[in-house]
Structure 1
Amino acid sequence: MSEQLLFLDFEFTMPEDRSTPEQFRPEIIELGLVSVIDGEIFDRLSTFVRPMRFPTLTERCKNFLQIRQEDVDAGISFRELVETLQTYVELCPTTPVTWGNADLQVLRENCSHAGLPFPFDRRERDLSLEYKRFFGNRQQTGLWKAIEEYGRTGVGRHHRALDDALTTVEIFRMIEKDKEYLNRRERMTLGDRVDLEDVWKKLHDWQVKTAK
């Protein structure tokens, strides 16, 4: 049976002041989604989402994310967002993949406040945590810093949801490739590690030389 990895990135509303007021909670205003089925990109999606509780974006949010008020005003509703995610989940067994745990945490909280079901029933994969464990880092690394550590550049522009989701796919593939390489090295025999034919040839040449 086919399996789907659903790479997700959300952008959220932000309060005007960095000291978050008690009544404020982040809401999803942009979705970036990349569906990978059996290792191949099946689909990608980018859309803005209308916030429910605080529909007017703060200046800080607009400046930081470079998202306009008219962008979110023309976006889909949060209910439509959840329904869209559910259509992907219905394709085949699906595991959501994100960089960090904030995306699905905010999605879960938004679903709870809207009285809608959380669309995923499988355990999510936090790729930033996998990256941290794989490289033995003490702290978790930001998405674009991680791609730079691989000697690459991110896709498009940072803090655009689809670009960040595509960048997460790229890092995922590189980590999986490194894991496969390390596993292959651990399974190598002495014959794999050393070209015995070359060793015997050098030994024979030495014996001929010393016999003269």
Structure 2
Amino acid sequence: MDGAKPLLFIDFEFSMPETGYKGFYAEIIEAGLVFCKNGKIEKEFSSFVTPVKGKRLTERCKSFLGITQEQVDQGISFAELTGLLAQLDRPKKVVTWGNMDMRVLRMNCEKNGCPFPFEKDELIDLSMEYKKFFGDRNQTGLWKAVEEYGKKGTGQHHRALDDAMTTMKIYKLVEKDKKYLEKPNPTTIGDRVDFSQLLSKFAT
């Protein structure tokens, strides 16, 4: 894993509207973070996040994510979440699968009057890196991508920390493939010829 800068792998889960609901915007209701320094996991964080506007989860949302209203009610506030994100080391790479996590985070920050905790040049959409690397026409889902490597996702899909861990797993695999495909430095004549044996031959 890249040891030059700390790596922060993030996954959020969002609230969902019932069909046809007007005035809805997605809010972060679960956060999973994996923070790595020097190639090693330094911190893991998982928490539900209490939504500000749509405090009552829809049945669709609870069913899809397999969570309860009580779990979300006992979560941290959105302000606490952004405060935690802002405290992490900088500069760093913030890695997500897809751009939706950062789009919803930015929108939630705007709606709640909170500063966005990251710089634009810190953000990496790993799904696009994966797409470019393998030349795919279509964007691949997180768990499909890890299965294409012959691996399994961590834990349960659509649980924030498990998906963040799975994102980290794919990041490692892609970085390993990139290094494997890097062209080695061309050998010099000194690498190809043992001059000590050549000189001893002429000396006899």
The aligned counterpart of 2:112 is 114
The aligned counterpart of 2:45 is 45
Matches of 1:62 and 1:130 in 2, distance apart?
31
Q: What secondary structure does 1:134 align onto?
A: helix
State the Cα distance separating 1:38 from its structure 2 match: 2.0
Number of residue pairs matched?
187
TM-score where L is the length of structure 2: 0.87
The question of 1:78 aligning with 2:78 is answered: yes
The aligned counterpart of 2:63 is 63
Q: Encode CA deviations 1:161-187: one digit per residue, 9 max, x unaligned.
A: 00000000000000000000000xx22
Matches of 2:22 and 2:35 in 1, distance apart?
36
The aligned counterpart of 2:91 is 93
Matches of 1:145 and 1:15 in 2, distance apart?
26
The aligned counterpart of 1:14 is 16
Q: Which amino acid aligns with 1:96?
A: V
State the Cα distance separating 1:2 from its structure 2 match: 6.0
Q: Which amino acid aligns with 2:84?
A: T
Q: Where does structure 1 differ by over 6 angstroms across 4 or more consecutive aligned residues?
A: none
Matches of 1:119 and 1:94 in 2, distance apart?
12
Q: What secondary structure does 1:93 align onto?
A: coil
Q: Over the residues paired in the alignment, what is the CA RMSD in angstroms?
A: 1.9
State the Cα distance separating 1:60 from its structure 2 match: 0.3
Matches of 2:74 and 2:175 in 1, distance apart?
38
| 1:1-212 equivalences in 2 (<5 Å) | 3-17=5-19, 19=20, 21-88=21-88, 91-123=89-121, 124-183=123-182, 186-187=183-184, 189=186
Q: What secondary structure does 2:26 align onto?
A: coil
